Amino acid sequence: MSDSIQQWVEAAGAAIHQGRWDEAERLWRQVHAADPSHPQALYSLGMHAMKRGQLAEARQWLESALAVMPQAQVPMACMGLAVVLRELGDSAGELKAIEDALAADPYFLPALLAKGDHFERHGRGRLAAAIYRNALAVAPPEPQWPPLLRDQLLHARARVLQHAQELAAFVSDRMGTPLSALNPVEAQRWREAGAILCGLSRPFPSVCNQLHVPRLPAIPFFEHDAFPWVEALEAKTEAITAELQGLLAEQKDEFRPYVAYAPGTPVNQWRELNHSPRWSSYFLWQNGAPQAEHQARCPITTEALREVGMADIGGLCPNAMFSALAPHTHIPPHHGETNARLVVHLPLIVPENCLYRVGFEQRRWKVGEVLIFDDTIEHEARNDSDELRVVLIFDVWNPLLSAGEREMVRVLSAATREFHAEG
């Protein structure tokens, strides 16, 4: 490229940047006169013609540009041509230009969005939703969306959700009679399967912060049948609640923030709750250690928990606590330490508008009715009421582990503690 051409190219770019369109077009014509095969000049003159509304001329310039365009610049030039052909009413030509852009770069986000839009405008909404889903898959995280594409990406996301909801309604209708023949546990499994199939949910695996026991099924909520202590514990709800009420009246300052990371620790989703009294706990056992003073104040609750037979994993379990969630507080999605143990909630004070989710399944606490769940599956809690919510929380063994396997849990946990204790 001659020095003169390079100077004109740079000047044209500066003129465009400053909004001097006529000057930029004049400079590009000078470049074209000096080098009729200059791809950037051909492309830019096509874009200038499109801006003036001279669509036939724009088409000629852009098609000429594509004949000589370097591969890396083909997708953008194809998209310029697609816009021109759309305005000319050449639907087939528009789609071909979009397909040519994607042939050059299958991950070119503007082309994927344009392809979805093309099918949507031509009444092929389901196909459009599939293309939009691909576009969202290759797009960066929402905070990094290009500003020029943000509205299109928001539309794509809304269209994908609408399609998923329409598919879910259709699938639900087809599942109706066969689903009614299943028991409640099986029926919930297949509702979740349908939601995943339709794109309204996703699989929720067991994700352990410490020890993961392979090949255990990721069951969100366990039925009570495997836990012979449930009925006896639920029968003590009133007495346990009375002890709790005494604590709230006389020992409220002993409820400490459940999330309490040291300064300098990455807190991620816990930023809002770190050292906050909005989620506080009164421990009876903590990381395997009994809290003697607290237990002395709650003899009925302590004895009831001893009769349950909590999980005992040195340095980790048992844990047992009254967990208080302040009004309008959200515990964000998170995972527990090990799927060798399960977590139990005995709801004691439960206002309206409180919700608990484990994986796909959402439940509402009911006073005196135990919930038993695998906390290594993503879970979260909400208190959207104007009152305090309190549940008794403790650990039990996963009933799918044999006595020998429970001992292996203890051995592995002890070995890692011993190794790290040596510094």
Distance CA 351, CA 344 (A): 19
Q: Is residue 373 part of a domain?
A: yes
Q: What angle do CA 125, 127, 133 make, to 5 degrees?
A: 100
Same domain, 277 and 347: yes
Residues 6+ apart with CB under 8 A from 97: 78, 79, 81, 82, 85
Quick check: is 188 in a domain? no
Cα 252 from chain centre:
35
Side chain identity, residue 87: E
Residue 182 lies in a domain: no
CB 355 within 8 A of CB 302: no
114, 136, 162: which is the final residue of a domain? 162
Strand partners, 397: 341
Could you tell me if 148 and 255 lie in one domain? no
Whether residue 34 lies inside any domain: the answer is yes
| 140 and 258 together in one domain | no
* Number of folded domains that form the chain: 2
Q: Are 105 and 28 within one domain?
A: yes
If asked whether residues 257 and 398 sit together in one domain, one would say yes
Same domain, 14 and 119: yes
Query: What is the structure's pLDDT at 3?
Result: 76
Q: Is residue 205 part of a domain?
A: no
Closest CA to 369 of 270, 223, 257: 223
CATH number for 301: 2.60.120.330
Considering 109, 144, 162, which residue would you say is the last residue of a domain?
A: 162
- Which token pair is 145? 């969306």
Note the pLDDT of residue 423: 60
The answer to whether residue 103 sits within a structural domain is yes
* Residue that finishes a domain, picked among 111, 145, 162: 162
- Res 89: pLDDT: 96
Residue 98 lies in a domain: yes
Same domain for 231 and 141, yes or no, is: no
Residue 268 pLDDT: 85
| Cβ atoms of residues 318 and 392 within 8 Å | no
pLDDT of residue 257: 97
What's residue 267's pLDDT? 84
Domain that holds residue 117: 3-162
228 and 156 fall within a common domain:
no
- Distances 380 to 120, 220, 261, 361, 392 between C-alpha atoms, Å: 37, 12, 19, 11, 16
CATH assignment of the domain containing 20: 1.25.40.10
In this structure, the answer to whether residues 157 and 240 fall within a common structural domain is: no
Predicted confidence pLDDT, tens digits, the chain (423 residues): 577 888 988 888 898 889 899 998 898 899 899 989 999 999 999 999 999 999 999 999 999 999 999 998 999 999 999 999 999 999 999 999 999 999 999 999 999 999 999 999 999 999 999 999 999 999 999 999 999 999 999 999 999 999 999 999 999 999 999 999 999 989 999 999 999 999 999 999 999 999 999 999 999 999 999 999 999 999 999 999 999 999 999 999 999 999 999 988 888 899 999 999 999 999 999 999 999 999 999 999 999 999 999 999 988 999 999 999 999 999 999 999 999 999 999 999 999 999 999 999 999 999 999 999 999 999 999 999 999 999 999 999 999 999 999 999 999 999 998 888 876
In terms of domains, do 131 and 249 share one? no
Q: Concatenate the DSSP letters of all residues of 152-171 into one string.
A: HHHHHHHHHHHHHHHHHHHH
Q: Are residues 16 and 135 in the same domain?
A: yes
The answer on 317 and 405 residing in a single domain is: yes
Residue 177 lies in a domain: no
